[in-house]
Amino acid sequence: MYRNKKKKNPGLEKWQSRRPNDQWIQVSYGLLDSDACKALTKKQLNLYFFAQRLRFKALVAALRKNESPITPTTRWSDYDKVTDDTTYITFQTAVKGGVYPKYDERTFYSDRKTLIILGFLDIVVDGKTVAPKIASVYRMSSRWQTINADDIARLKAAKVIGSSAKTTEQDKIIRSIYQKTDE
């Protein structure tokens, strides 16, 4: 008689990690092969992966139901748009995580805006509009699936993304994205 035994999770392969039980993030080939992802710089892609890690940590903290400062649900418990799958993405956490050096704050904010414009992140709570020194709340987004090569060419020509991106132009685009969704 055959017994249905659960197979033990072998973990990650030796070439994938230093430890077999390391944590990992899921990234589909569809995302990696998309026009939006190909438009990202290496630093922006690293920031996106880091945001996924932050989201996972916030999700675990929220599921534990403790008053953790890393989960937005602690601060915004009465706001229904802030759910367990939201996270903070601040410059201080990016520096602490080794994604950006201390002197590269301007690049961090530009890269985060690019991730929003290209549809990888959504702003749930804009800290700038609430009060000074309040961190914004973000959620992973699937809007990147609708971005095509023509959109990227237009954004680069308008200096919204790329090495010559202008902050004021990025802010205009972000405002227009969220004016459409608020209506």
Higher-confidence residue: 175 or 46?
46
pLDDT digits over 97-154, tens only? 999 999 989 999 999 999 999 999 988 887 777 767 778 888 889 999 999 999 999 8
> How far is the C-alpha of 84 from the C-alpha of 73, rounded, in Å?
7
> pTM for the full model?
0.82
Higher-confidence residue: 165 or 159?
159
Yes or no: say if 48 and 27 are a contact pair by the CB < 8 Å rule. no
Phi/psi of residue 30, nearest 5 degrees: -60, -40
Average pLDDT over residues 61-89: 73
Q: Can you give the pLDDT at residue 7?
A: 61
pLDDT digits over 3-61, tens only? 555 666 566 777 777 877 778 788 889 999 999 999 999 999 999 999 999 888 888 87
DSSP 9-55: ---S-TTT-SSTT-------HHHHTSHHHHTS-HHHHHHHHHHHHHH
